[in-house]
Amino acid sequence: MRVPDIRVTPPGPRAKAILERDRAVVSPSYPRSAPFVMACGQGAVVEDVDGNIYLDCCAGIAVAATGHSHPEVVRAIAEQASRFLHTSTDYYHELQVELGEALAQIAPVGARARTFFSNSGTEAVEAAIKLARYHTGRVNLIAFLGSFHGRTLGALSLTSSRNVQRRGFGPMMPGVYHAPYANPYRHGRGATDHESCARDSLAYIEDQILNGLVSPDEVAAIVVEPIQGEGGYIVPPPEFIQGLAKIAAKHGMLLVADEVQSGIGRTGKMFAIEHCGVQPDIIVAAKGIASGLPMGVTIAREELMDWPVGAHSNTFGGNPVACAAALTTIRLVQDGLMQNAAEVGHYLHDKLKELAQRHRIIGDVRGRGLMIGIELVRDRQTKERATRERDDLVLAAFRRGLLVLAAGPSTIRLSPPLVFTKEQAQTAVQILDNALEELPNS
């Protein structure tokens, strides 16, 4: 497929007709980013129903890890679908066991691990909440401002990235305490003072939460994104994650790493927390794990997963077709895509840093691998967030054939498929360069 090729000003006539039908029958709660109506895709290139061709730097919110319709993933899906589509969790199938074995090999939670299978990141987080409470006998949880863990009630109670996600659904699940996330760019003492940034966030947990709000021996777990996703693709100092691990160990809490968006090779390592040299007690993953098929996993050290039969289950969890896709995805990620994410991500990051030198509206470029955030500000000194301009940039890039998504109040996120090439990265930067020219005071 050619990249990009906008033949009809989007949305074209066929897209407009589908958008109208959508408005009549689909929930208005979905947060649409642009009037893109997909017809097909291959790798990091997608085509809409009017024949417009785009470079995809979204990957379905970091889901299409191996690219759209990777032939080996499609083959695995088709082969399994021809055998059987489903068997309930009342029985067994070998692919689920095989996937559990593969996850035990790659998850940095200890020598032996077990996995609970579900259908999404939200469900994986819910399972982690229940497991942490069950195993520790404690009920309280610590999460972070700007976090996103899902929209079901337990996961939503941990979430604090945007108030629209919580408004009208209260009261939230009790026993959740939010601490500041270590954000070097937004830290009051300057973007380069990573050590104090981490220290201040950790001190808030110890001094304000554990000394003033809840007894440490009543906290079941600290739940953290090693890289904050919806909050703005924020990369904390390694000392922050390391400090959380020390606090958890000191007080007998569990450390839960939410790797729904950052896991499965996206950052150049299988899980983002590996960049910090920390071994969590529980990892949750989803999105990219099955290249587009619904799957969530909650992985814990063997001794932690001690709940009895019937304590937690899931009708569709570990679906055989999704397991087939996940096994192929993990193999492809290990066999080169993870390394490609590291190499192309480094190249893309450098090119975006160069772009920031030409556009003063870019306040920060950050990320690991192919998980990169570009934060827009109206003034680099005050760091006033350029929220409206960020939204305009998403649409300006879309009109030029590049799909990007917003994250946080004023950040563009780039999370292309892990098959992304340096040539495609250069194209993405050029389109962003041209789109930025549309913005006032760029």
Both tokens of residue 198? Answer: 């981490």
| Enclosing domain of residue 314 | 72-333
3 state SS of 384? strand
Torsion of CA 181, 184, 186, 192, to 10 degrees: 160
| DSSP code per residue over 355-374 | HHHH-TTEEEEEEETTEEEE
Length of the chain, in residues: 442
The pLDDT > 70 percentage for the chain reads: 98
Half-sphere exposure of 137 (CA within 13 A, CB side): 2
Write down the pTM of the prediction.
Answer: 0.96
Determine, yes or no, domain membership for 4: no
Going from the C-alpha of 172 to that of each of 140, 276, 352, 409, the distances in angstroms are: 13, 31, 39, 23
pLDDT digits (tens, 9 = 90+) for 202-240: 999 999 999 999 999 999 999 999 999 999 999 999 999
Q: Residues 372, 406: one domain?
A: yes
CB-based contact 116:131 (threshold 8 Å): yes
Q: Residues 239, 377: one domain?
A: no
CB atoms within 10 A of CB 225: 27
Q: How many domains does the chain have?
A: 2
The last residue of one of the domains, among 333, 367, 397, is 333
DSSP class of 276: G
Q: What is the pLDDT of residue 110?
A: 87
Which segment of 26-35, 185-194, 344-353 scores lowest on mean pLDDT?
A: 185-194
Determine, yes or no, domain membership for 2: no
The last residue of one of the domains, among 317, 333, 349, is 333
Q: Residues 130, 150: one domain?
A: yes
The last residue of one of the domains, among 301, 333, 365, is 333
Q: What is the pLDDT of residue 1?
A: 55
pLDDT for residue 347 is more than 80 = yes
Both tokens of residue 338? Answer: 């993870």
Average pLDDT over residues 415-437: 97
pLDDT for residue 193 is more than 70 = no
Determine, yes or no, domain membership for 308: yes
Q: Residues 147, 232: one domain?
A: yes
Residue 148 sits at the vertex; the CA angle it makes with 376 and 126, to the nearest 5 degrees, is 170
Q: Residues 317, 365: one domain?
A: no
Return the CATH number at 403.
3.90.1150.10
CB-based contact 412:390 (threshold 8 Å): yes
Give me the residue label for tokens 């304000």: 208
Both tokens of residue 353? Answer: 């840093």
Whether the bond between 171 and the residue before it is cis, its omega within 30 degrees of 0, is yes
Q: Residues 125, 61: one domain?
A: no
Q: What is the pLDDT of residue 72?
A: 98
Q: Residues 290, 161: one domain?
A: yes
Determine, yes or no, domain membership for 228: yes
Determine, yes or no, domain membership for 101: yes
For 158, the enclosing helix (H) or strand (E) is: helix 153-158
Determine, yes or no, domain membership for 6: no
Q: How far apart are CA 244 and CA 262, in angstroms?
A: 18
Q: Residues 304, 346: one domain?
A: no
Q: Residues 304, 351: one domain?
A: no
Determine, yes or no, domain membership for 100: yes
